Amino acid sequence: MVFKDAALTPEEMPKTTPVPEPHGRMPTGVSWEPLEAGSADPFGPRRMHVERHLVDDEGLQTDPLAEDLMVINIGPSHPAMHGTFRLKCWLDGETIVKAIPEIGYLHRCFEKMSELHPWQEVFPYTDRLNYMSPFLNNVGYAMAVEKLLGIEVPRRAQRIRVILGELSRVMDHFVCVGTNLVDLGALTNFWYLFRGREEIYSLLEHVSGARMMVAYGRIGGLMRDVHAGFEDEVRALLKSLPRYIDDVDKLITNNRIFIDRARGVHPISAADAIDWGWTGPCLRAAGVPYDVRKAHPYYEYDQFDWQIPIGTAGDVYDRYLVRMEEMRQSLSIVEQAIGDLPDGPVNVDDWTISPPPKDQVYNTIEGMVAHFKLTFEGVQVPAGEVYSYTEGGNGELGFYLVSEGGGHPYRIHCRAPCFAIYQNIGPSLEGCMLSDIVAIVGSLNVIAGELDR
Amino acid sequence: MDWTGVGISLLKAFLVFFGVVNTVPVLVWAERRGSAFIQHRLGPNRVNIGGFTLLGLVQPLADVVKFVWKEDYVPAHANRAFYVLAPVLLLVPAAMTFAVIPFADDIVVAGRQITMQVADLNIGILYVFALASLSVYGIVLAGWASNNKYSLLGGIRSSAQMISYELALGLSVVGILMIYGSVQLDDIVHGQGEHLFGFLPKWGVVTQPLAFILFLAAVFAESNRLPFDLPEAENELVVGYHTEYSAMKFAIFFMAEYMAMVTGAMLIVTLFFGGWQIPWVESAELQAAVGAIPAALLQLGSFSAKLLFFLWLFIWVRWTLPRFRYDQLMRLGWKMILPLALANVFVTGLVLYFT
């Protein structure tokens, strides 16, 4: 019947041979004929041979049944594909024989768009890279431009960047762990964690005016100083957030079903992880204690008392454990930072980089001219190129900037951590079961916005 | 022909069916409010009639209206006949299972003995298992007829799962049948009215604790609920075998699932928790003390209380545990539950032989 509609080779599959619609409606201008002559059923048997999996080293066919593979498209719109990406899988029963990832469904020309805007107007686009922790992207980009400008932001701005950045990281891990557990069927954890995420959102909303796309970073500082009750709100968060983490910890960490589902699934060795360019929690789960905040400290990260959690096996369970511990470490950093939040300005005292205060803009000719030039011509960044990198939500978030001088970037490249992490997804899924896909993709924390940019 | 007897039977059948069908929306409500309670949320509490939300109980009504008015869409590539047949095949066995469950002790009214179950079949529990194994056809057919790969995978998973766990389900009950010496549920419940050592109710859970645990797991698997909801597994298979169903056809799947859950809970109560027995109260004494009909109502209350607890357990577990993987599910069923059930039968046999 219909279900032999399995398989074509990757080469012949999608482009020229549309699957016929049963009414006989055809896309105009495309002719179609059944691949096997004599097959009356329009969905009739079509076979594929994935040679490398069906033959052993001596060229003998190992599994006579395995040629009846079933092709299944997971995504681009599928409940477990958080964001839009597609995995095309060849299944033998429920075991994946071959998987080909396809990305690009959420490509929005981030890099090209950035070239068409003044330096300071790129911030809203960076929000939409890893939209689970937008402020970390703001900081990453701002740091890169500041490096090219050769300026250092005031200490208060640094501290606020650390505080909000670490809270954003907690948010990122909340979403990652929460959705990963949802995909394994444990929905309740998702609600526990998302409640905490909403609380952080409320803080970000009070600070920046937006819950999700904060666009709060600025070249040379921040959009504005934090509001009066900021410190109290952060302290309240520090009280409430650990509870959500503990709740999930108690509910799921030692759950036998969860351990069975996650332990030993998709393990990766430290060497492999490095070879594939992995960074962030997934790399640390494989046992490599690399964290940009420790390895190349910025914003006084080396002065805080915190540790890098690392795993041993690099499997889904270790990634979960590493993320859980990182959230606690991040909260500890926030606690130390909020205890020592210096007074002072949050923007550099340079009107060619940070806009002058509004009363100056409206009441003095100098302020108005500075504001005009900044708005119309952009921040004047000297010619040169720079690579600057920070620890993003799921790994090393790098920005490579090229400037020819003037108000616009000549070229921006974003090193998205999950792009590197997602590279080997196809081969590494082979031999896993269908149910493992959702666990694996969830644990990698692949954010389509950042992957496709 | 005994027309009064026929009338009583019809009335009982109607009342039981009516009661069970109406349990479904209440259960959906309990599921949604219960999950909200577990998850730090409020759950549905807005739908109202003239301002009365009844704690959200109006929501199922709105859901039903929605299901009835939605477009009843049949995908063009589906096998129409089987596609329409599948939900029926699932619902009918689910709705027929209750016939043999006793809700209270037999009563004598106006010289006529009335059994408090729709049909006092002498095959008892076998009838339940026979019907329960029919429901797999509905699911497999739904998965097949939808002509959708996710549905098909769901259907295949469920057939494998239900067949595997039916064995465990049946075997774990054998110990109970040996102890109470009957397959008739009525006799089993009567047997559970006795006491062990003079104070401990001789409930199935006391005499067969291992069988209870195995049976509980198997019932969860049979009703396709977490942690065994692989056939649906919304994050892997979209929603599995009923992906392509909409409107009332979907609602029927939904109802059948909840009915299966009620059946499971009823069986647990009947086999392992004394059914309608009120602990430490002899049925005959109770009937003598308060009269036949009040006694029956009290026993119905006892049955309902136990039933509600296990229904809540179903909900509770669903929102606590993650889901198994297919191979782990099979391993659990064949390599753990089945041998344990066999061992349980063996040990029970030995004990019965030597006592």
ipTM score of complex: 0.83
The pair phi, psi for residue B203, each rounded to 5°, is: -75, 160
Instruction: Verify whether the Cβ–Cβ distance A185 to B325 is below 8 Å.
Output: no
pLDDT band at residue A12, thresholds of 50, 70 and 90? very low
| Closest residue, chain B, to A80 (C-alpha) | B235
Return the top range by mean pLDDT from A34-38, A211-215, B121-125. A211-215
pLDDT surpassing 50 at residue A13: no
Contacts of A78 in chain B (CB under 8 A): 238
CA distances from residue B184 to B191, B271, B354 in whole angstroms, order as listed: 11, 10, 25
CB-nearest to B325 from A182, A187, A433 is A433
Nearest to B238 among A78, A187, A435 (CB): A78
- A21-30, A98-107, A205-214: segment of lowest average pLDDT: A21-30
Q: Of A187, A255, A434, which has the smallest distance from its Cβ to B319's Cβ?
A: A187
Q: What is the mean pLDDT of residues B253-275?
A: 85
Give the distance from residue A139's alpha carbon to the nearest chain B alpha carbon, in angstroms: 33
pLDDT of res. A28 = 36
The closest CB to that of B234, out of A72, A79, A252, belongs to A79
Contact by Cβ (8 Å): B27, B312: no
- Rounded CA gap, A327 and A375, in Å? 38
How far apart CA B326 and CA A207 sit, in angstroms, is 47
Any CB–CB contact under 8 A between B324 and chain A? yes
pLDDT of residue B37: 86
Q: Do A185 and B38 touch (CB under 8 A)?
A: no
Q: What is the mean pLDDT of residues A351-357?
A: 87
* A89-94 average pLDDT score: 78
Beta-bridge partner residues of B195: B201
Q: B39, B79, B228, B236: which to substitute to probe chain A, counting the most A Cβ within 10 Å?
A: B236
3-class secondary-structure state, position A415: strand
Q: Which of B220, B212, B226 is nearest to B38 (CA)?
A: B226
Q: Tell me the β-bridge partners of B262.
A: none
Chain A residues at the B interface, defined by Cβ less than 8 Å, are 1-3, 21-23, 43, 70, 72, 78-80, 94, 181-188, 191-192, 195, 251-252, 255, 257-258, 260-261, 433-438
Asked if A21 and B76 come within 8 Å (Cβ–Cβ), the reply is yes
For the residues A2-8, what does the mean pLDDT come to? 34
pLDDT at A62: 53
User: Cβ of B77 and A185 within 8 Å?
Assistant: no
pLDDT at B326 over 60: yes
* Tokens of residue A342, six digits: 């210096």
Residue in B40, B147, B327 closest to A433 by CB: B327
A219-223, A356-360, B63-67, B119-123: segment of lowest average pLDDT:
B119-123
What is the arithmetic mean of pLDDT over B223-227?
79
Which of A31-35, A144-148, A429-433 is most confident? A144-148
B255 compared with B113, residue with greater pLDDT? B255
Test A70 with B149 for CB contact under 8 angstroms. yes
Residue pair B231/B240 in contact by the 8 Å Cβ criterion: yes
Say which DSSP state A12 is in.
T
The DSSP secondary-structure symbol of B49 reads B
pLDDT at B112: 74
Is the CB of B331 inside 8 Å of chain A's CB atoms? Answer: no
A399 close to A412: Cβ distance less than 8 angstroms = yes
Give the rounded percent of residues in chain A with a pLDDT score beyond 70. Answer: 85
In this complex, the residue of A3, A70, A185 whose CB is nearest that of residue B226 is A185
Residues with Cβ within 8 Å of B314's Cβ and at least 6 positions away in sequence, in order, are B220, B223, B225, B261, B264, B265
Would you state the structure tokens that stand for residue A157, as one six-digit string?
């701005």
Do residues A295 and A279 make contact, with C-beta atoms less than 8 angstroms apart?
A: no
Q: Do the Cβ atoms of B310 and B23 come closer than 8 Å?
A: no
Question: With 0-12 CB in 10 A as exposed, 13-18 as middle and 19+ as buried, what is B281?
Answer: middle
pLDDT band at A63 (very low <50, low <70, confident <90, very high): low
Q: Is the peptide bond before A76 cis (omega within 30 degrees of 0)?
A: yes
Cross-chain residue pair B235–A261, CB shorter than 8 Å: no
Q: Tokens representing A335?
A: 């606690």
Range with lowest mean pLDDT among A176-185, A198-207, B101-110, B315-324: B101-110
What is the average per-residue pLDDT within B163-168? 85
**Which is it for the CA torsion B147, B150, B151, B152, positive or negative?**
positive
Q: A20 preceded by cis ω (within 30°)?
A: no
Percent of chain A with pLDDT over 90: 11
Check A255 against B322: CB less than 8 A apart.
yes
Model confidence at A265, in pLDDT bands (50, 70, 90)? confident
What per-residue confidence (pLDDT) applies to A40? 42
Task: Tell me what pLDDT residue A25 has.
Answer: 36
Give the model's pLDDT for residue A68: 66
CA angle (A237, A238, A242) in 5-degree steps: 105
Q: Measured between alpha carbons, how far is A350 from A301 in angstroms, rounded to an integer? A: 26
What are the E-state strand segments in A124-281? 217-218, 221-222
Q: B76 vs A23: CB contact, 8 Å cut-off?
A: yes
**Residue A388's beta-bridge partner residues?**
A399
Say whether A393 sits in a helix, a strand or coil: coil
> What residue in B sits closest to A180 (Cα-Cα)?
B235
Q: What is the pLDDT of residue A67?
A: 57
pLDDT at B178 over 60: yes
Best B79, B83, B141, B149 residue to mutate vs chain A (most A CBs within 10 Å): B149
CB-closest option in A79, A188, A261 to B38: A188
Exposed/middle/buried for residue A393 (C-beta within 10 Å: 0-12, 13-18, 19+): buried
Name the more confident of B268 and B103. Answer: B268
Look up residue B347 and give its two tokens. Answer: 């040990």
Q: What is the mean pLDDT of chain B?
A: 83
Torsional class of A9: left (φ above 0), alpha (ψ -120 to 50), beta (otherwise): beta
The answer to whether residue B82 neighbours chain A at the CB level (below 8 Å) is no
Burial B209-240 (b: 16+ CB within 10 A, else e): eebbbbbbbbbbbbbbbbbbbbbbbbbbbbbb
CB pairs under 8 A between A and B: 93
Q: Which positions 179-208 of B are in contact with A (Cβ < 8 Å)?
A: none
Q: Which of A78, A80, A435 sits opposite B325 (nearest CB)?
A: A435
Q: Using CA coordinates, name the residue in chain A closest to B325.
A: A435
Residue with the larger pLDDT of the pair A239 and B191:
A239
* Structure confidence at residue A280 (pLDDT): 87
What per-residue confidence (pLDDT) applies to A44? 33
Cα angle, residue B313 at apex, residues B307 and B314 outer, rounded to 5°: 95
Tens-digit pLDDT profile for residues B108-156:
777 777 777 777 777 888 888 888 888 888 888 888 888 888 888 888 8
Q: Tell me which residue in B77, B227, B230 faces A257 most closely, judged by beta carbons.
A: B227
CA distance A438 to chain B (A): 7
Residue A443 clears pLDDT 80, i.e. is over it: yes
pLDDT given for residue A201 in this prediction:
92
Q: Mean pLDDT in chain A? A: 80
Paired tokens of B2? 């005994």
What is the distance between the alpha carbons of residues A441 and A448, in angstroms, rounded to a whole number? 11
> Over 80: is that where the pLDDT of A135 sits?
yes
Of the candidates A215, A202, A222, the residue with the CA atom closest to the CA atom of residue A161: A222
How far B36 CA lies from chain A's nearest CA (Å)? Answer: 9
Spatial CA neighbour of A78 closest among A68, A87, A69 = A87
